[in-house]
Structure 1
Amino acid sequence: MTDRKMLRLGGFFSVPGNHLAGWRHPDAIPTYDMDFQGYAHITQVAEAAKFDCIFFQDTVGVSGSRALARGERARAKLSRTVKLEPTATLAALAMVTEHIGLVATATTTYNEPYNIARRFMSIDHISNGRAGWNLVTSQIEDESENFGFDQHMPHAERYERAAEFYEVVTGLWDSWEDEGALLRDKASGIYMDRDKVHFLDHVGKHFKVKGPLNITRSVQGWPVIAQAGSSEAGRELAARTADVVFTAQTKIAEAKAFYADIKRRAAKYGRAPEDIKIMPGLTPVLGATTEQATANYERLQALMPDDVALLSLSHISGGLDLTKFPLDGPLPELPPSNAAKARQALIVQTARENNMTLRQIARHTAAGTGHRVIVGTPDYMADEMQKWLEEEAADGFNVVCNHYPRPFEDFCTQVVPELQRRGIFRSEYEGATLRENLGLRKPENRYQRAARLKEAS
């Protein structure tokens, strides 16, 4: 048995591809966005490689739909948000997998806590303890009009609502005590022990929810909770609530600072550093040699017109029309964004530090949506991942590919074996649940904890 720190790996499935022009690549299968068999294939590839989990981002709208409605057809080219609804997809994937964790996004901005609590706990039961909920606030403004609003509520209010949403969902997940609540005793005719079923009776600023949830706790207690915000409000919410933090970090110094900050903040909520796993996004562009990998990257970039690249900045532009600025001039000063504040700050910093033109930062962003793009050989990629792990810049990575399925298959068959050879990634799953494989504790039922503490006092 070794005490060596081990990498965590997630497969971030941004079908048909994370790169804005990736779906046009000769090896790409663009129909993966609506093909369940494609989802199943890449999930099974990830499970064969012993990934901790797969992860589906979600958007409850079509990116660019507002522009299309205004007749701006060029701006609507960004729309790649046609995909299967992720929670329904997770339930289906649970039937064709055995070990891998199944994580999906559900926004707290345009959902209700009871529905989300029931949906994810159902998936957790169906998968025997492998579900995870990526708790996010909505970003793209195109979503708001699908729910009766002209625009998002302010950023701070979205996070305030999210924090209360988390309290309601996790409170509902604890409605039933782990032992003896659901009896189903045929002889006595007693179906449940009402003393072990708890009403939440939540009354807050955003929600009024009585409970209890009409589904019991799962074998892992709660689904794993992921969080993806990196703004000040996002970091605080992550430190308080998240088991896993998905983030966009491109430089090791900044990644180390983010890592340390989240772990430090967690302490004030009574959480240990190991209670949170930090997993930045990583986009691999592989080649047998550095030259081949670079050629592969340049071939991909050549597929992307400048106008499409520019649209990759639309969600962080603060409403500024970037088409009115010269492409070979600097990135203009951006108004504050009500969408993705941390992502806007990252992109502006990258442009300023590297003296990039508007064209260059647009193409850079479109290639990785802000995540780190690593171009090189499998050995070089393993070197970089090991360095970030050992220097506490990351606990693992969320692998997000430019198109599917070939780049992900190549990562699993070329990079993962090298990580295993180095002894920093598993060769077999350690446990049966997602929490066990991530090295996370099972949450204690809050009502049982309260009774235990009362008895101890």
Structure 2
Amino acid sequence: MGKQIILNAFEMNSSMHNSHGLWKHPENKRQRGYKDLDYWINLAKLLEKGKFDAVFFADVLGIYDVYRNSKEPSIRDGLSVPSNDPALLVSAMASVTENLAFAITVSTTYEAPFGNARRFSTLDHLTKGRIAWNVVTSYLPNAARNFGLQDMIKHDERYDIADEYLDVSYKLWEQSWEDGAVVENVEQNTLIDPDKVHEVNHEGTYFKVEGPHLSEPSVQRTPVIYQAGTSERGREFAAKHAECVFVGGPTPERIRYYADDIRKQAKKHGRNPENIKIISFLSVIVAETTEQAEQKFEEYNSYWSTDAAKAQFGASGYDIAEFEEQDQNEPFEYKTKTEGGHYKAATLTKDAPKQQQTVGEVLNRFESLDRSSYIVGNPQQVADAIQYQFEQSGVDGFNLNHLVTPGDLEDFINLVIPILQERGLYKKEYQQGSLREKLFAKGNSTLPDDHPARKFRKVLHESK
């Protein structure tokens, strides 16, 4: 059997996610349902029916306020606000599923590693090893101010903090507790062998943590590490730490460039590139006929919010409103460098479908759904396009975006997945085991020996 597609549902515990203005669509249940536990329970059941590998929860810690130097456009159109904590959904969704996994986004810039390590150990226990951590460094100026900072920490320093944050986390998960520390010896009145639980005594540039970790080792010890970042620093970080990396690009060739670079850098860190899965984004509008799919696209387009799209682009650190007063025929280019999300800025320059665009062409991209970013068609056409993207880009899977929930997911599951299964591109049954075992099929729930976290286990064993 050849390589099969890994598929995650791209989600957020909020009223809207990457579906600017679509909250107005009469069949969109997200706005009314996202704060209702039954909504998420039903979604979990639907995704497991479709054999999805995971639901991937994005998250932010502030409001997009770069566009027009204002929070109003984001608040008015529900751009990632209101937004609730995604981690609190996992236990309920896990209780009605057996195989669906959960990737939770948590920033290394603002939350302390000790509490975060306990959060993920707890979730990994409760889900029996179905947890992943999407490591982000946060790019919103409002998030920095929400956590007491006047200005955002610079882009590359955020990755320096993340590097040390991961080291602290690895020490807590991999080094603090030995296997077999919980002995439950009634005769000796000993639940836990104190000689097998250790302080980590981390003292670094950004963190000082004594330990020990409060949670006993979970199924995976360290959750599966997800990361998204196409900047040079982001790719280097991913090559060192990540097991699943999200990359974007306008063409399969550009995506392959990023994927190859990450795998090449992984070798420099002593890692086997096969221990890294590359995931890209997938946006689909499907119906039983091509005509119906095109009608659906136009219907969705009629609800589109230009302001919300421009506000989200503020993640780049650039206010697109500043270009609205320029000559529309001028070449589009950034005059300065920002500390925002480099990947977002690149979508209009080096990762744009057309390398040199005019200001007018760039601004026009925000006016409607970007047709070039969507696969629109009947089930056969959509399956063909997915297969082409999968084979030409060299990725291992996709994060599936959806505009109207749950209808778009239901259509994809009912219309497209059976065709992918017939072609051998998508699983008909889940593999057994933890998320890490499902992804890498090596019969081991814990990290492989080539991962940098394993050095902390080695320290533990060498000290015995």
TM over 0.5: yes
Residue in structure 1 matched with residue 76 of structure 2 by the alignment: 77
Aligned: 1:353 with 2:355? yes
Residue in structure 2 matched with residue 6 of structure 1 by the alignment: 4
Partners in 1 of 2:184 and 2:305 — Cα distance? 63
Structure 2: stretches of 5+ with no match in the other structure? none
Partners in 1 of 2:299 and 2:210 — Cα distance? 56
Note closer, same or farther for the CA distance 1:74–1:63 as it changes in structure 2 (3 Å cut).
Answer: closer
User: In the TM superposition, what is the alpha-carbon distance from 1:408 to its structure 2 partner?
Assistant: 1.2
Structure 1: stretches of 5+ with no match in the other structure? none
User: 2:332 touches 2:356 (CA, 8 Å); kept in 1?
Assistant: no
Q: SS state of the match for residue 187, structure 2?
A: coil
Partners in 1 of 2:46 and 2:109 — Cα distance? 33
Aligned: 1:181 with 2:185? no
Residue in structure 2 matched with residue 62 of structure 1 by the alignment: 63
Residue in structure 2 matched with residue 48 of structure 1 by the alignment: 49
Q: Which amino acid in the other structure matches residue 353 of structure 1?
A: Q
Partners in 2 of 1:31 and 1:329 — Cα distance? 43
Partners in 2 of 1:326 and 1:404 — Cα distance? 38
Partners in 2 of 1:290 and 1:169 — Cα distance? 49
Partners in 1 of 2:178 and 2:242 — Cα distance? 22
Partners in 2 of 1:318 and 1:354 — Cα distance? 18
Aligned: 1:254 with 2:254? yes
Q: Note the 1:442-457 alignment, pairs <5 A.
A: 442-443=446-447, 446=455, 448-450=457-459
Q: What's the TM-score, normalizing by structure 2?
A: 0.89
Which residue of 360, 366, 370 corresponds with 1:362?
366
Partners in 2 of 1:27 and 1:264 — Cα distance? 45
User: In the TM superposition, what is the alpha-carbon distance from 1:155 to its structure 2 partner?
Assistant: 0.4
User: 2:175 touches 2:460 (CA, 8 Å); kept in 1?
Assistant: no
Q: Note the 1:391-410 alignment, pairs <5 A.
A: 391-410=392-411
Partners in 2 of 1:67 and 1:264 — Cα distance? 37
Alignment RMSD: 2.6
User: In the TM superposition, what is the alpha-carbon distance from 1:383 to its structure 2 partner?
Assistant: 1.8
Residue in structure 2 matched with residue 285 of structure 1 by the alignment: 285
Q: SS state of the match for residue 227, structure 1?
A: strand
User: In the TM superposition, what is the alpha-carbon distance from 1:437 to its structure 2 partner?
Assistant: 1.1
User: In the TM superposition, what is the alpha-carbon distance from 1:352 to its structure 2 partner?
Assistant: 4.5
User: 2:62 touches 2:146 (CA, 8 Å); kept in 1?
Assistant: yes
Q: SS state of the match for residue 117, structure 1?
A: helix
Q: Which moved more, 1:10-19 or 1:301-310?
A: 301-310
User: 1:246 touches 1:280 (CA, 8 Å); kept in 2?
Assistant: yes
Q: Deviations over 1:321-353 (max 9, x none)?
A: 436426965674323231111221122242743
Note closer, same or farther for the CA distance 1:423–1:178 as it changes in structure 2 (3 Å cut).
Answer: farther
User: 2:176 touches 2:198 (CA, 8 Å); kept in 1?
Assistant: yes
User: In the TM superposition, what is the alpha-carbon distance from 1:52 to its structure 2 partner?
Assistant: 1.0
Note closer, same or farther for the CA distance 1:307–1:320 as it changes in structure 2 (3 Å cut).
Answer: closer
Note closer, same or farther for the CA distance 1:331–1:200 as it changes in structure 2 (3 Å cut).
Answer: farther
User: In the TM superposition, what is the alpha-carbon distance from 1:209 to its structure 2 partner?
Assistant: 0.9
User: In the TM superposition, what is the alpha-carbon distance from 1:276 to its structure 2 partner?
Assistant: 0.8
Partners in 2 of 1:309 and 1:103 — Cα distance? 25
Note closer, same or farther for the CA distance 1:451–1:166 as it changes in structure 2 (3 Å cut).
Answer: closer
Partners in 2 of 1:95 and 1:248 — Cα distance? 33
Note closer, same or farther for the CA distance 1:76–1:392 as it changes in structure 2 (3 Å cut).
Answer: closer
Residue in structure 2 matched with residue 336 of structure 1 by the alignment: 337
Note closer, same or farther for the CA distance 1:293–1:218 as it changes in structure 2 (3 Å cut).
Answer: same
User: In the TM superposition, what is the alpha-carbon distance from 1:206 to its structure 2 partner?
Assistant: 0.6
Q: Percent of pairs identical after alignment?
A: 30
Partners in 1 of 2:137 and 2:250 — Cα distance? 23
Partners in 2 of 1:139 and 1:151 — Cα distance? 11
Q: Which moved more, 1:79-88 or 1:239-248?
A: 79-88
Aligned: 1:90 with 2:90? yes
Q: Which moved more, 1:133-142 or 1:347-356?
A: 347-356
User: 1:280 touches 1:394 (CA, 8 Å); kept in 2?
Assistant: yes
Q: Which amino acid in the other structure matches residue 374 of structure 2?
A: V
Q: Note the 1:70-219 alignment, pairs <5 A.
A: 73-74=72-73, 76-81=75-80, 82-177=82-177, 179-219=179-219
Partners in 2 of 1:305 and 1:352 — Cα distance? 23
Note closer, same or farther for the CA distance 1:419–1:72 as it changes in structure 2 (3 Å cut).
Answer: closer
Note closer, same or farther for the CA distance 1:312–1:454 as it changes in structure 2 (3 Å cut).
Answer: closer
User: 2:73 touches 2:311 (CA, 8 Å); kept in 1?
Assistant: no
User: 2:177 touches 2:213 (CA, 8 Å); kept in 1?
Assistant: no
Partners in 2 of 1:63 and 1:79 — Cα distance? 10
Residue in structure 2 matched with residue 28 of structure 1 by the alignment: 28
Q: Which moved more, 1:32-41 or 1:413-422?
A: 32-41
Residue in structure 1 matched with residue 423 of structure 2 by the alignment: 422
User: 1:337 touches 1:344 (CA, 8 Å); kept in 2?
Assistant: no
